[in-house]
Amino acid sequence: METQNTLGGAVSYSGIALHTGARAHLTMKAAPENTGIVFRRIDLPGAPSVRAIASNVVDVRRGTTIASGDARVYTVEHVLAALHASKIDNAFVEMDGFEPPIADGSAKPYLEMIKEAGTVSQLEPARYIAPSETIVIEERDTQMVFIPAEGPLHITCTVSFGATPLDTQFLSCTLGAEYFERDLAPARTFVQFRELEQLLTMGLVKGGSLDNAVILHSGAIICKDGQRYSNELVRHKVLDIIGDLFLCGARVGGHLIAVKPGHPTNVQLAQKLIAQNCGKA
Ligand SMILES: [Zn+2]
């Protein structure tokens, strides 16, 4: 029987927060069985908790924000992707603000934290969730088709942003810890230049720089030290899907075909998957 896992110890990471530009600290700690992933705002009185579950999602613009009461946590998807891929079912994630450190815009630093902490097997059986019937979501130019399938999560993803011919990219992959570490975790977040101007006008992305994002501008892909993969953009989108789907509160299986995915449709998919499985229970 495959059992639930937690972390072998507490690990911390500090860095710049994307929107405020302030220094942010994040600590991951072990949690008991059936806790799930729970964020804690240790900067607020009483250190309120927010469970990483789709029903707690309050905003999906630019990133996935969860909240419970007055406690909000922004941009949870990269931390969740690293935990999901590492099969860490139970953990507390303590933060001293509403954003995790953006690091290099990828999931790599979070994955390194998890590896440093190590994994501890627990006694309860691991929980998996997968579509029992095909789920289809179509919204604007996004299509998501989630098909029942045995085995680990398989994602077939196509992206196209129209900024440069180089930004039409494709990836088909099966989620495994080694694949995630080598082929997905280092893929960085990206932004279109015209969106960046808007975000700056809104007083956001104060901590944004080429240290933590790839920029699509005037038919070119602008980034520090070259692209990490010839299709880094689609790899990052797949990373985001893996993170957002962990909002099901269980490891996810099935075969997902995603065309031009984004946080709104990723989260809808998690909600539909939960609803479908609750209906069966
Ligand atoms: Zn992302």
Q: What is the pLDDT of residues 197-240, one digit of tens each?
A: 888 888 888 888 888 888 888 778 898 888 999 999 999 999 99
Show the tokens assigned to 39. 């964020």
- Residue 105 phi/psi, 5-degree rounding, is 85, 5
Assess whether the region 3-125 and the region 128-280 belong to the same CATH fold: no
What was the pLDDT predicted at 89?
98
The mean pLDDT of the chain is 94
Q: Does domain 3-125 have CATH number 3.40.50.2300?
A: no
Q: What is the pTM of this model?
A: 0.96
Q: How far apart are CA 14 and CA 119, in angstroms?
A: 22
Show the tokens assigned to 206. 């104060």
Distance 44 CA to ligand 1 centre (A): 26
Q: Does domain 128-280 have CATH number 3.30.1700.10?
A: yes
Rounded to an integer, the average pLDDT of 142-157 is 97
Residue 115 has pLDDT above 50, yes or no: yes
Residue type at 255? H
Q: How far apart are CA 11 and CA 123, in angstroms?
A: 23
Distance 189 CA to ligand 1 centre (A): 5
What was the pLDDT predicted at 281?
41
Distance 163 CA to ligand 1 centre (A): 18
Q: How far apart are CA 226 and CA 24, in angstroms?
A: 27
Active site (catalytic) residues: 263
Q: How far apart are CA 19 and CA 42, in angstroms?
A: 19
Residue type at 209? S
Residue-wise pLDDT tens digits, 59-77: 998 899 999 998 999 999 9
Instruction: Spell out the residues 6+ positions from residue 201 whose beta carbon is closer than 8 angstroms to its own.
Output: none
Residue-wise pLDDT tens digits, 150-161: 999 999 999 998
Residue 280 has pLDDT above 70, yes or no: no
Distance 122 CA to ligand 1 centre (A): 30
Distance 280 CA to ligand 1 centre (A): 32
| Distance from the first to the final alpha carbon of the chain | 21
- Map out the domains of the chain as residue ranges: 3-125, 128-280
Show the tokens assigned to 143. 């299509």
Strand partners, 219: none
Task: Give residue 162's region: left, alpha or beta (phi > 0; psi -120 to 50).
Answer: left
Angle of helix 77-85 relative to helix 232-245, nearest 10 degrees?
A: 80
DSSP state of 55: G
DSSP state of 45: T
